[in-house]
Copies of this chain bind each other. A is one copy, B any other.
Amino acid sequence: MKKIDGKQIAKDLVSELTQEVEALSGDKPCIAFIRVGDDPASVSYVKSKNETAAKIGITPLLFALNESISQEELFAKVDELNADPKVNGILVQSPLPKHLDEQATFNRIDPLKDVDGFHETNAGRLVQEDARGFVSCTPAGIVEICKREGIKMEGKHVVVLGRSLIVGKTFALLAMQKGEYANATVTVCHSRTKNLAEITRQADILVAAIGRPEMVTKDMVSEGTVVIDVGINRVEDPSRKRGYRIVGDVKFDEVSPLASHITPVPGGVGPMTVALLMSNTVKAYKLQQA
């Protein structure tokens, strides 16, 4: 069993991007973050993205907007950044306050600056296997892990647990497309699936992205499976100072002895997300130069 060190892989990618950005002549890539309100998780996510960008040499711009901003005002800010040739990537931090339409806001971003890959055009480009598209960062991070760990998907049975737009469905589309780190037979399971364990036991590569703490147990996994755990769940834990601990969708202790490779939580897929956002920003910069 190999425990995949997502933190190290992300670090490697960040360091490669740093060299790539250093070598660029002229203006450096620039990413604009829009945060609406002061939700503590959002503040912390944007801060971490901002720091990673700065470290790489990508210019970060932060726009912290008032919680009560109207949809029109938010659109106006997006339009302004769309029109600004110095801005290569735009990220609107989710979740937005309830009075704002999140998908409409993502769709307002210029698809060529949509480094989060949430614009409908980029979802379409993924389906159509159009290389100009941006793929959302968590699923793209899983593919990157596979590449760097030499885990080929070709002809393998990839079972995806969860059909969310930002992970399950998008990863399924990546795995089934043509290409060296794709060409998989793909099964998408979810809350309505019957005989779930029977299906997951067939997986060569099992991606758990269903958001249920430790639901993947050893009876659901065959020996030699690559297990990718995308879950980030809080469970109460009075023994911890903060009163909870973070667990994945996989019961790590009992599943890991069966796995050929497994990503831990935390420290597996999580750190890849920010790294891929930066990779998308550099891609956006290049597409916009071309």
Binding site for B on A (CB under 8 A): 103, 119-128, 130, 154-155, 157, 163, 165, 169-170, 172-173, 176-177, 183-190, 192-194, 199
Contact = CB atoms under 8 A, between A and B. Distances in A.
A61 B173 CA distance: 36
A127 B173 contact: yes
A200 to B, nearest CB: 11
Nearest to A127: B123
Contact of A193 (B155, B173, B190): B155
A197 B46 CA distance: 48
B189 A194 contact: no
Nearest to A133: B120
Contact of A124 (B122, B154, B186, B192): B122
B120 A169 contact: no
Contacts of A119: 124
A257 to B, nearest CB: 25
A122 B128 CA distance: 11
Contact of A123 (B124, B169, B188): B124
B189 A188 contact: no
Nearest to A163: B176
Given A176-B190, A185-B192, A124 B130 contact: no
Given A124-B124, A126-B127, 11 more contacts: A103-B130, A120-B124, A121-B124, A123-B125, A127-B127, A127-B165, A157-B199, A176-B188, A184-B192, A185-B188, A185-B193
